[in-house]
Amino acid sequence: MSSRHRPSPVLSAPARLSRGTPAYRRAVVALFIAGYASFSLVFCIQPLLPDLVHAFGVGAADSALALSFTTGALAFAIMVSGAIAEIADRGRLMFLSMLGAGLVSVAGSAIADWPLFLASRLLEGVLLGGMPAVALAYVAEEMEPVDAGRASAIFIAGTGLGAMIGRVAAGLIADHGSWRMALAAIGIVTLAGALIFAALLPRAQHGVRHGRLRVRAHLLAWGAHIANGRLRLLLVQGFVLGGVFVTFFNFIGFVLMQPPFGLSQTAISLILFVYAFGIVASIVAGEIAARFGQARPLAIGMLVMIAGIALTTSASLAIVVGGIVVLTIGFFVGHAIASGWVGQIATRDRGHAAALYLLSYYVGASVMGWVGGVLWEAAGWWPVVAASVILAMLGLALAIRSTRWRALPA
């Protein structure tokens, strides 16, 4: 009986995740939860800054370090985690980031020493460095290109919801309990979110995995991205967005607690539900960028931010709240478009490009957040507003310049 030689089956690469499939839906829900859980931990401290002033006997600028230490550590940890993601499973790295940060938040709620408390916030930033860049790299590598922009926008929306609920919940719990109870509760919620994330996220099947850490290759990849003029512009844009937004929300609570407003922490926390407008705006921004390109919507987002900042100089509470809404919408439009655009311009080593953008964003948040505190202690709200407007105008100029570029699909 003669045998026939049959051709060996050709092994095709696994299909990328595409919109409408169950795997895509599971992935975007998992990424939304990851964004929510992580950023609720980062920003829950913001409405608690006045409590830290009283609890530890520090000034407003020093209290802002509780956030700046976290975002600063997060910025540099992102670079390391982007490199580690090439030799480790991306899903597992994100899971461990959430798990570790949640545990540190619970432990930090019991610390009575200011330097040690700052150390715990710094450690949270280091641990959470495994989240944003890795999540955006996962989207860029695992999603169909036409759906990557939408998935990035959903992750950004999750970070917005987490930042909103983290701020609101922390303020409410602190007002009716204590700031320590607030940090512990949000840490526990993050731990639960980590377990749900691990159950939902499809395993990464694309991108090059390496057996060892390639330091020289990473330096070359980062250098190549920095040499790209378009990416450099977006990196500066990230610094602007992070600097303006974090500075604003660090100190608007102090403004609203003082005359002529005199609001309680509960009332201020409820105002922060305006983040819901930003969450919707980030999703809509992804759709708009997919249809019309990124440049003009980015410029519009920066203009909207400037208008929102200006409104907060009013003595009318209604106008100030309106300004907070307007600024929040403008920020989320700008951040969703800029972060997604980075992944489109970078044709290779997208994880490195995403890490550089987020490094710029969080360095802006850390540096300008502290600078805002110095300005606040020196002369109040007006210098903070002036610095924010000047920085936002730089972002607007960069966005206008980017309108000369050829539009890329989101």
For 162-212, the pLDDT digits (tens) are 888 998 999 999 989 999 999 999 999 999 999 999 999 988 776 555 556
The answer as to whether 148 is a domain residue is: yes
The answer as to whether 10 is a domain residue is: no
pLDDT for 66 beyond 60: yes
The answer as to whether 162 is a domain residue is: yes
The answer as to whether 4 is a domain residue is: no
Q: What is the SS3 string spanning 282-308?
A: HHHHHHHHHHHCCHHHHHHHHHHHHHH
Contact 202, 92 (CB under 8 A): no
Range of the domain at 62: 22-204+218-402
The reported pLDDT for the residue numbered 121 is 97
For 366-394, the pLDDT digits (tens) are 999 999 999 998 989 999 999 999 999 99
Q: Model-level pTM?
A: 0.79
For 274-287, the pLDDT digits (tens) are 878 887 888 788 77
The answer as to whether 13 is a domain residue is: no
The reported pLDDT for the residue numbered 164 is 84
The answer as to whether 213 is a domain residue is: no
CATH of the domain at 225: 1.20.1250.20
The distance in angstroms from the start CA to the end CA of the chain is 58
Give the C-alpha separation, 193 to 14, whole Å: 28
The answer as to whether 11 is a domain residue is: no
Q: What is the SS3 string spanning 352-377?
A: HHHHHHHHHHHHHHHHHHHHHHHHHH
Q: Binning pLDDT at 50, 70 and 90, where does residue 408 land?
A: very low
Report the number of distinct structural domains present in the chain: 1
The answer as to whether 390 is a domain residue is: yes
For 205-235, the pLDDT digits (tens) are 765 555 566 777 778 887 888 888 888 999 9
Give the C-alpha separation, 220 to 376, whole Å: 41
Give the C-alpha separation, 357 to 379, whole Å: 32
